[in-house]
Chains A and B, each alone.
Chain A
Amino acid sequence: MAELAGKSRPQFRNIHVTQILAYRLPPAGVVSILHRISGALLFLIGIPFALYLFQLSVTSEISFESYRAIVSHWFAKLVLLALIWAIVHHALAGLRHLFTDAHFWLDLAPARVSAIAVLVASVLLTAVLGLRLFGVF
């Protein structure tokens, strides 16, 4: 027992933030880390920015106009585009979580396909909403 106690055992820890780029993650791993990043982004920037815009948009007709002025600025549109991606990716990755919680898509192949589907669908939806945001249609 004394020998065992003195022996250094291998430790398997979570991937540290600084190691993310060095890892060759499977699609499900990419979805997972982007789920975290998008969630943190929504907490730090998304919620306060949305509340600020919401406040302007509902308080008075004058503040409604300043809301419109802010969201028509190109930089605000870029921030909104990033936040739109964050909310779309987070929602779709979350839906995938709910399906795996219900024991769907647990095998290797469907887990892979659903992960790629989340990545592709979130980019496509963001692109469509982005075109609307920048006034293409």
Chain B
Amino acid sequence: MPAQRIVTGAHYGVRDWLAQRITAVVLLLYIALLLGWLLTVPAVTFDSWAGLFATGWMKVATMVAMLALVYHTWVGMRDIYMDYLKPTGLRLFAQAATIVVLIGYGFWTVLILWRV
């Protein structure tokens, strides 16, 4: 069995499959939260919009959603690479680039929220 395992394969388990579902639910809840705010706020202005993200709970909720999005995107993109990119070197490059980009998205979000 170990001989069949390849360096850019999945982890041959249920963990990522389950994480994909849990992070999806987190993202759906965050979208529902945003839509609920948009539908109930009297007017979307800079003050009301930036005021929403100035609160501690919304910063935390946004970061939780972003981390869920990073993990979710990683599993999804890796699934795509495993089906269509066959050469190990190419797949490894795509996976590494995706990880770097996703970590970048995550820290970008931290920087944005930090200044609100």
Q: Tell me the A residues contacting B by CB distance below 8 Å.
A: 14, 16-17, 36, 39-40, 42-43, 47-48, 51, 54-55, 57-59, 61, 64, 91, 94-95, 97-98, 101
Contact = CB atoms under 8 A, between A and B. Distances in A.
B116 A43 contact: no
* Secondary structure call for the A interface: helix
B31 interface: yes
Nearest to B45: A64
Would you call the interface of chain B mostly helix, strand, loop, or mixed? helix
Contact of B105 (A40, A51, A91, A95): A51
Contacts of B24: 94, 97-98
B50 A58 contact: yes
B68 interface: no
A59 B52 CA distance: 12
B82 to A, nearest CB: 9
B73 A43 contact: yes
A5 to B, nearest CB: 17
Given A43-B77, A51-B105, A64-B50, A59 B21 contact: no
Contacts of A48: 105
